[in-house]
Amino acid sequence: MTGRDIRLISEAAGALRPLLKASRTAALCTHVDPDGDGIGAEICLLGYLRDLGIEARVINTEPLPARYRFLDPGGAV
């Protein structure tokens, strides 16, 4: 990851903060045929939003693939 990447991520996070502060609920999803990156991102963001006091849920169109169940021992997905 380059310094430019980190700057862009920081800018995006800064733009999201006001939206998150005004939110009470959120729905998260990933792409069709989810992979470990998509599922991991959902689980990470789910925890972050819940820590902020936002009621969040993961809603995917497909069940969690068996090979990725280790990422979600709590059954959030």
Query: 5-60 pLDDT, tens per residue?
Result: 788 888 888 888 888 888 999 999 999 888 999 999 999 899 989 988 999 999 99
Query: Vertex 40, ends 64 and 22: CA angle to 5°?
Result: 105
Distance of CA 55 to the CA centre of its chain: 13
53: left (phi over 0), alpha (psi -120 to 50) or beta: left
pLDDT at residue 58 in the model:
95
> In sequence order, which residues have a C-beta less than 8 Å from that of residue 45 and are 6 or more positions away?
28, 56
